[in-house]
Structure 1
Amino acid sequence: MPFPFQRLCGPEDRAIPRNYVYTWLNYALAASGLTGPGNEPLRYTPHDFRRIFVTDALSSGLPAHIAARICGHQTVDTTLGYAAIYPEDVINHHRAFFARRRSLRPSSECREPTAQEWQDFLAHFELRKVALGVCARDFGTPCVHEHACIRCPVLRPDPEQLPRLEEMRANLLVRLQEAKEQGWLGEVAAIEASIAAAEQKLAAMRDLAARHPAVHLGMPDFPGVVARIDTEQRNEDAKQQP
């Protein structure tokens, strides 16, 4: 029979009931004298050993879909939910993954960057800081929108710059009126595109500000302490007077 816990009952083998296994687990833990981090008694259930098995199997290299079939899970996501992931395991597996990848790539692609290349990399992130927020373009790529940040889709707007963008939108409306009066149709189309992009950025800023509202806590005061100090000072002055 495909049961990890079974016993002979008369002429046939039967699965051991879960409550029976749970009872003997408690007996074994009590006899071992093991305790938790706070000296509390350890408690296990039969289901905990499935989690222990999956964690140990996956960390030992067993593919997740194979572990899912062994456990009888319908999806791999259920099996992955059983695995306990520790920070040290994440670091070790991350390093091992890159070590395997680097062993398959030419050695010239895994060289250390020069001082100039590293400075260029750091300078790229400094250049991504703009008035309305942060530019999210990738390293080594030029600004394809010719620094028209209002219309740029990769701009990450900063909610604190909302007043600045509102002022820029007001200026665009003034320029749009002038362009219409002068008959500059090309300028009208460009300004209207900028206004539409500015309104989208304003909506994004207001949404971000609503998610993370700033709460002014004010300056702390201690009226009880001040009153007590003033009373003590007056009593001391009274003692010093003739």
Structure 2
Amino acid sequence: MARGSAQAGDQPDPRDAQVTRLRCPMLQVNTMMLPRLADIEKDLLLRRKLAQEEHWLGEVEGIDSTLTFLRTKQAESARLTKRPTTDLGIPRPRPEKTQ
């Protein structure tokens, strides 16, 4: 059965949820997930190779799009790990104004 087709009793493909999370621009990737992103990238590249061999042009296009989003998330996450943190201190109440 082809991935993505739904029949009674089928379990959802967990890769579909991963792709959805990768494509969402609002979700940031936890830096601890960088090794997992590398695994997903390897899997996508293998799937892309198979899709090319089978001449599934739509699948190749979809995988290319997902790879673009994946690499953007990887770069964004790597950039965030290098960004220095700023200590804002503890908030204090403002002094009352005297008139």
TM-score, length-scaled by structure 1: 0.27
Q: Superposed, which structure 2 residues align to 1:177-188 within 5 Å? A: 177-188=49-60
Q: 1:211 deviation in Å?
A: 1.7
Which 4+ stretches in 1 moved above 2 angstroms? none
Residue 153 (structure 1) aligns with: 25
One-letter amino acid of the counterpart of residue 76, structure 2: A
Residue 207 (structure 1) aligns with: 79
Q: 1:198 deviation in Å?
A: 0.3
User: Where do 5+ consecutive residues of structure 2 fail to align?
Assistant: 1-16, 86-99
- In structure 2, relative to structure 1, the CA distance for the partners of 1:170 and 1:212 (3 Å cut) is farther
TM-score, length-scaled by structure 2: 0.63
Residue 175 (structure 1) aligns with: 47
Distance 1:161 1:190 in 2: 23
Residue 9 (structure 2) aligns with: none
User: Where do 5+ consecutive residues of structure 1 fail to align?
Assistant: 1-144, 214-242
Q: 1:212 deviation in Å?
A: 5.0
Q: Superposed, which structure 2 residues align to 1:105-144 within 5 Å? A: none
Aligned pair count? 68
Distance 1:208 1:154 in 2: 15
- In structure 2, relative to structure 1, the CA distance for the partners of 1:212 and 1:164 (3 Å cut) is farther
One-letter amino acid of the counterpart of residue 194, structure 1: T
Distance 1:160 1:193 in 2: 24
What is the percent sequence identity of the aligned residues?
34
Instruction: Give the counterpart of 2:35 among 163, 173, 182.
Output: 163
Residue 197 (structure 1) aligns with: 69
Distance 1:151 1:166 in 2: 16
